[in-house]
Structure formats: C-alpha cells, structure tokens
Structure 1
Amino acid sequence: MSKKSSESPSIYVVRYGSNLVGEMAADRERIAEIKEGERVRVDVRTGRVPKRLRFYWSFIREVRIATGCAPTDKAFHSLIKMETGFTEEVIFRGFKVKIPASVAFEAMDETEFSAFLQEALAFIAREYGIVPEDVEKAA
C-alpha cells in the first residue's frame, strides 16, 4: 500500500533582483495565501528542463533500435542507470541489492540530471560507439 505524501506541491519562482516571484498564476496564488510576515522555508532547487529529458528518451530510443541492446526503452534506461551508478541500495532477504534510482522531476534536480545525462552519454559512446551527433546525421 502506498503512503500519500504530506508535502504540498512545489511553488516555482523566478528571481528578479532580490525578489522571488511566482512563475505562473497558480504559484502566485499560493504565495498570496501565505500570511504577510510569516516565516517560510525555501529549499532552492534548479528547475528541470523538460527538453533535456525528451532528448534523453529520444536518444536512447534511437540507440536501442539501432543496436537491439534491450527489448524496451525502459529496460535500456534501467541498464544505463545501473551501469552509471545512479542506483539506490535496498536490503532484500538480508542482502544489500542495488536498484535503478529514479530520474523523475521530483527525484532529481537539473544539476543532478545533467550529471546523469553526461554519464549516460559517455556510457553509450563507450559501449555502443554512438554519440548524439551520429543520430542527428542519420535523421
């Protein structure tokens, strides 16, 4: 059974000088609900760039199709995470086991995803001899 998160959704802001302004109307509305003068905790995380995630999935799909290295994009994605060390350790039947970590937006900020992407591209180039420029030329 999954447990519901007690955390409220993130509010995205844009910095203007020394001010942080809600990025979208919904963000600004949520900020307006906070009492004037109330102390608020802010954890700074760089927002993810969806275009980079789309590039990653598109690229690994092309590599998988060209090489036949995995039955699905998700299987290849799991292999990449295992081979690049983007894993989590769990205990199963008394043994420590590594499983693929999540690269979902809520699990990884842009800095972490950028590091993962560089490792993934290096792994693919090393193991399969394919770089993004090869896929762009073939398109």
Structure 2
Amino acid sequence: MSKKDKPIYGFIRLGNALVPAMNYDLAALESIAQGELVKVEIKQFRNVGRHRAYWAMLQEVIDACGLDYNAEKLHDLIKLHNGVIDFITLPSGLTVSIPASISFDKMSETDFQTFFRKAETWLAKTYGYFRQEAA
C-alpha cells in the first residue's frame, strides 16, 4: 500500500491524550491491542476554507485583470516569484527552477498561511489586487 493509499485518522488533543475525532477514527484505534506501542505522525490538518479562498482569490484576479491564463498558471507564477520551487537538473546539465507543490502533505498549515500572505502581497504589487477579507 502506498503512502497515498493509507488512510488518515483524526484525533483531538485533550490534556495529554489523543481522542478519536469520529467513529471511523475510533474503529481504527479499537483494532489496536491495549498497551501496544504504535507509531504516530503528528501533523495538523490544513484549513480547507483557506485553501479554497486562495483559489477563489486567483480567479478573482484573473477576472478583474482580464488575464489570458488560468488559475493554475497564475498559481505557478506566484510560487516561482515567492520561492516555492524545486530545482531540477536537465540532461544538458543546466539546473532550472520549477514550481513546487503546496499540497496538504507537502506544506504545513503554518507554511501555507505564510505563502498565502506572500501571494496576496505579490498580487497587490503586480496587479493592484487587494482582497476584501483576511486569509
């Protein structure tokens, strides 16, 4: 089973204990024997509303400015101009920058908040766009 196919379980911290968030999570926990040691990877869930707001903001900029490219291309430009990049070396030996991923498993919520603010600043400087509500 690949990492992508593995289920993700949600737990809520209450004091020094992690409590299953839903019945689905409880069922997974009940499959483990009392006293059995388990491996836990602590990751905070990303804010889906903020992620949607980001993509809505991109579409607003495209519509307001009459840009002739789509949200994905604007997203790539934002990443390139704000250092969210990966380096690859071409067969010729030339190293180039390509946009990196901001997917939930590649970027923490804290890092996404920082990226969102940088994107807003870049959009304001580049296109004169100012969002009405805060991210």
Name the TM-score, length of structure 2 as normaliser.
Answer: 0.87
Q: Which residue of 2 aligns with 1:87?
A: 85
How many pairs were matched up? 132
- Per-residue CA deviation, residues 56-115 of structure 1 (Å, 9 max, x unaligned), is 111110001111334111111111111111111122222222111111222222111111
Q: What SS does structure 1 have at the residue aligned with 2:107? A: coil
What residue number does 1:53 align with?
A: 51
Structure 2 residues without counterparts, runs of 5 or longer? none
* 1:111–1:126 Cα change, 3 Å: same
Amino acid at match of 2:99: P
Question: Which residue in 2 is equivalent to 1:24?
Answer: 22
Residues 70 and 76 in structure 1, CA contact (< 8 A), matched pair in contact too: no
Whether the aligned pair in 2 keeps the contact of 1:82 and 1:100 (CA below 8 Å) is: yes
Q: What is the CA–CA distance in structure 2 between the aligned matches of 1:49 and 1:80, rounded to whole Å? A: 20
Deviations 1:104-129 (A, max 9, x none): 22222211111111111111111111
Partner of 2:126: 127
Equivalent pair of 1:11/1:27 in contact (CA under 8 Å): yes
Secondary structure of 1:98's partner?
strand
User: How many angstroms apart in 2 are the aligned matches of 1:58 and 1:114?
Assistant: 15
Structure 1 runs of 4+ with >3 Å offset: 3-7
1:36–1:91 distance in 2 versus 1, CA, 3 Å: farther
Q: Percent identity?
A: 33
